[in-house]
Protein backbone atom coordinates (compact mmCIF):
# COMPACT_ATOMS: atom_id res chain seq x y z
CA UNK A 1 0.00 0.00 0.00
CA UNK A 2 1.12 3.58 -0.62
CA UNK A 3 2.59 5.45 2.30
CA UNK A 4 3.85 8.95 2.77
CA UNK A 5 7.28 8.89 4.47
CA UNK A 6 7.79 10.83 7.68
CA UNK A 7 11.39 11.85 8.37
CA UNK A 8 12.68 12.57 11.86
CA UNK A 9 15.19 15.38 12.14
CA UNK A 10 16.15 16.19 15.71
CA UNK A 11 13.10 17.58 17.47
CA UNK A 12 11.18 17.88 14.22
CA UNK A 13 9.29 15.67 11.83
CA UNK A 14 9.43 16.36 8.10
CA UNK A 15 6.74 15.30 5.67
CA UNK A 16 7.01 15.95 1.95
CA UNK A 17 3.90 15.02 0.02
CA UNK A 18 5.07 14.05 -3.47
CA UNK A 19 2.19 11.90 -4.66
CA UNK A 20 -1.42 12.45 -5.62
CA UNK A 21 -3.38 12.21 -2.41
CA UNK A 22 -6.50 10.19 -2.09
CA UNK A 23 -8.55 10.10 1.08
CA UNK A 24 -7.24 6.89 2.64
CA UNK A 25 -3.65 8.03 2.15
CA UNK A 26 -4.34 11.35 3.88
CA UNK A 27 -6.05 9.59 6.79
CA UNK A 28 -3.09 7.23 7.19
CA UNK A 29 -0.72 10.18 7.20
CA UNK A 30 -2.75 11.78 9.98
CA UNK A 31 -2.53 8.74 12.26
CA UNK A 32 1.10 7.97 11.36
CA UNK A 33 2.10 11.54 12.20
CA UNK A 34 0.35 11.53 15.55
CA UNK A 35 2.03 8.22 16.43
CA UNK A 36 5.43 9.54 15.37
CA UNK A 37 5.02 12.69 17.49
CA UNK A 38 4.25 10.50 20.46
CA UNK A 39 7.09 8.05 19.78
CA UNK A 40 9.83 10.65 19.27
CA UNK A 41 8.39 13.39 21.53
CA UNK A 42 8.71 15.72 18.57
CA UNK A 43 8.27 19.44 19.10
CA UNK A 44 7.46 20.42 15.55
CA UNK A 45 5.99 19.08 12.34
CA UNK A 46 6.80 20.52 8.92
CA UNK A 47 4.54 19.52 6.04
CA UNK A 48 5.70 20.43 2.55
CA UNK A 49 2.82 20.57 0.05
CA UNK A 50 4.68 22.27 -2.81
CA UNK A 51 4.07 19.25 -5.06
CA UNK A 52 0.35 19.06 -4.23
CA UNK A 53 -1.80 20.38 -7.06
CA UNK A 54 -5.13 20.39 -5.30
CA UNK A 55 -6.26 20.72 -1.71
CA UNK A 56 -9.98 20.08 -1.38
CA UNK A 57 -12.18 20.26 1.71
CA UNK A 58 -11.18 16.78 2.88
CA UNK A 59 -7.46 17.37 2.54
CA UNK A 60 -7.91 20.79 4.19
CA UNK A 61 -9.72 19.17 7.09
CA UNK A 62 -6.90 16.64 7.49
CA UNK A 63 -4.32 19.45 7.60
CA UNK A 64 -6.39 21.23 10.24
CA UNK A 65 -6.78 18.01 12.23
CA UNK A 66 -3.04 17.32 12.15
CA UNK A 67 -2.34 20.85 13.42
CA UNK A 68 -4.83 20.49 16.28
CA UNK A 69 -3.80 16.96 17.23
CA UNK A 70 -0.13 17.88 17.32
CA UNK A 71 -0.99 20.98 19.34
CA UNK A 72 -2.49 18.93 22.15
CA UNK A 73 0.57 16.68 21.96
CA UNK A 74 2.71 19.80 22.49
CA UNK A 75 4.04 20.07 18.95
CA UNK A 76 3.71 22.90 16.44
CA UNK A 77 2.71 22.30 12.81
CA UNK A 78 3.77 24.41 9.86
CA UNK A 79 2.49 23.82 6.34
CA UNK A 80 4.90 25.11 3.70
CA UNK A 81 5.10 25.63 -0.04
CA UNK A 82 1.44 26.00 -0.94
CA UNK A 83 0.99 26.82 -4.62
CA UNK A 84 -0.70 30.20 -5.25
CA UNK A 85 -3.48 28.58 -7.30
CA UNK A 86 -4.19 26.23 -4.39
CA UNK A 87 -4.43 29.17 -1.97
CA UNK A 88 -6.90 30.97 -4.27
CA UNK A 89 -9.01 27.82 -4.60
CA UNK A 90 -9.04 27.12 -0.86
CA UNK A 91 -10.44 30.54 -0.04
CA UNK A 92 -13.11 30.35 -2.76
CA UNK A 93 -14.03 26.91 -1.55
CA UNK A 94 -14.63 28.46 1.88
CA UNK A 95 -11.79 26.84 3.78
CA UNK A 96 -9.55 29.45 5.41
CA UNK A 97 -7.36 26.80 7.12
CA UNK A 98 -7.54 28.73 10.37
CA UNK A 99 -5.32 27.38 13.10
CA UNK A 100 -2.73 26.08 10.66
CA UNK A 101 0.60 27.92 10.56
CA UNK A 102 1.99 28.41 7.08
CA UNK A 103 5.27 29.53 5.57
CA UNK A 104 6.37 30.16 2.01
CA UNK A 105 9.08 27.52 1.81
CA UNK A 106 10.81 24.82 3.85
CA UNK A 107 13.57 27.18 5.00
CA UNK A 108 11.15 29.80 6.32
CA UNK A 109 8.99 27.08 7.84
CA UNK A 110 11.95 25.66 9.73
CA UNK A 111 12.86 29.11 11.05
CA UNK A 112 9.26 29.59 12.20
CA UNK A 113 9.32 26.25 14.04
CA UNK A 114 12.63 27.08 15.72
CA UNK A 115 11.30 30.47 16.81
CA UNK A 116 8.22 28.82 18.28
CA UNK A 117 10.32 26.26 20.13
CA UNK A 118 12.62 29.00 21.42
CA UNK A 119 9.60 31.02 22.56
CA UNK A 120 8.22 27.98 24.40
CA UNK A 121 11.53 27.34 26.18
CA UNK A 122 11.86 30.97 27.29
CA UNK A 123 8.33 30.92 28.68
CA UNK A 124 9.17 27.78 30.67
CA UNK A 125 12.43 29.39 31.85
CA UNK A 126 10.52 32.48 33.01
CA UNK A 127 8.10 30.30 34.94
CA UNK A 128 10.89 28.56 36.82
CA UNK A 129 12.45 31.93 37.63
CA UNK A 130 9.21 33.02 39.29
CA UNK A 131 9.08 29.92 41.44
CA UNK A 132 12.57 30.34 42.88
Partner 1 sequence: MITLNKETIAIKREQDVVFFRNRVNEYAEKIKMGLVNKTKLLTAASELVRNMLIYAKEGKVICEIVTISALQTGIRLTFIDNGPGIADIDKAMTDGYTTGKSLGLGLPGAKRLVNIFDVKTVKGKGTTISITKWKNG
Q: How many residues bind partner 1 (CB under 8 A)?
A: 22
| Cβ proximity of 60 and 29 under 8 Å | no
- Residue number with CB closer to partner 1 (92 or 126): 92
Interface with partner 1, residue 55, by CB under 8 A: yes
Rounded distance, CA 31 to CA 46, Å?
A: 15
| Residue from the set 8, 9, 23, 111 that interacts with partner 1 by CB under 8 A | 23
Give the neighbor-by-neighbor strand order of the sheet with 44-48. Answer: 6-9, 12-16, 44-48, 76-80, 101-103
Q: Which of residues 29-48 bind partner 1 (CB under 8 A)?
A: none
| Residue from the set 94, 127, 128, 131 that interacts with partner 1 by CB under 8 A | 94
Amino acid sequence: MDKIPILKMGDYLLVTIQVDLYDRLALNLESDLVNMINKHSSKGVLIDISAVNIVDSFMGRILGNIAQMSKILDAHTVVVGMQPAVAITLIELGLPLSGVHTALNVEKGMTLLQEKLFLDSTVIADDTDDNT
